[in-house]
Amino acid sequence: MNEEQFVAALAAQDITLSTKQLQQFADYYDLLIETNEKFNLTAITEKSDVYLKHFYDSISAAFYFEDFKTKELQILDVGAGAGFPSIPLKIVFPQLQVTIVDSLQKRINFLGALANKLGLTNVAFVHDRAESYGAKKAPHRASYDVVLARAVARMTILSELTLPLLKLNGKLVAMKGSSAQVELANAQTALKILGGQVIATHAFKLPNGDPREIDIVEKIKVTPAKYPRKPGTPNKEPLGE
């Protein structure tokens, strides 16, 4: 996907990019590749692949969750790595207020440099694990409108990492590849314990045919105070598995 195809594909979804936004994506790509030579941020480095599998794929969340387009949401991105999906969404929808939590300081440093280069405001980058961050009281726990996660963990684990951070009636937007329906079926016990309920699933394909699914979970009850458990435990002992 070249830049012209990127613009056209988004236009087909009624998303129009300005000259400034196009330059921000170009600068994003340049800094990503430059930094990737020093330490690993992504295995995807070809420009056409970055525009398709990182930039376009990230923005696809807004195709199925319309609130990204107009509302001033408080968004938390868990394990964003090099900023996906929340930074591409922030570029396209600058009213969004984005916090990224990541466990690696080098990635946090990269994101800070990226935000500076792109001139982004209302962004914050936190060096922490999701379990530790979610265990803290306000202003972190139960304080976000949306928690985003792209290819972070299967839903049984992901629900424990994210639901404690959501406001009541907040939404988890989980971006998945294939086998997402199996994950959802296996996560029903965990979701019930943690106060979540699946309200929508959207299966689609990227322009190159790669399968994707976006699952939206609403927090319908307060998450019990003992969750999330200490770092590492959700992975080792997933709820209900």
Q: Binding site residues for S-adenosyl-L-methionine, as ranges?
A: 79, 84, 130-131, 150
Cα Rg of the chain, angstroms:
17
Residue 79 CB partners (closer than 8 Å, separation 6+): 101, 102, 103, 130, 149, 152, 153
Q: What is the pairing mode between strands 196-205 and 144-150?
A: unpaired
Cα-based angle 215, 123, 68 (whole degrees, multiple of 5): 35
Count of CB atoms situated within 10 Å of the CB of 73: 20
Tokens at residue 11, please? 């236009």
In angstroms, rounded to a whole number, what is the distance separating the alpha carbons of residues 177 and 66?
A: 20
Contact 196, 220 (CB under 8 A): yes
The annotated binding site is made up of 79, 84, 130-131, 150
State the DSSP code for 72. Answer: -
SS3 73: coil
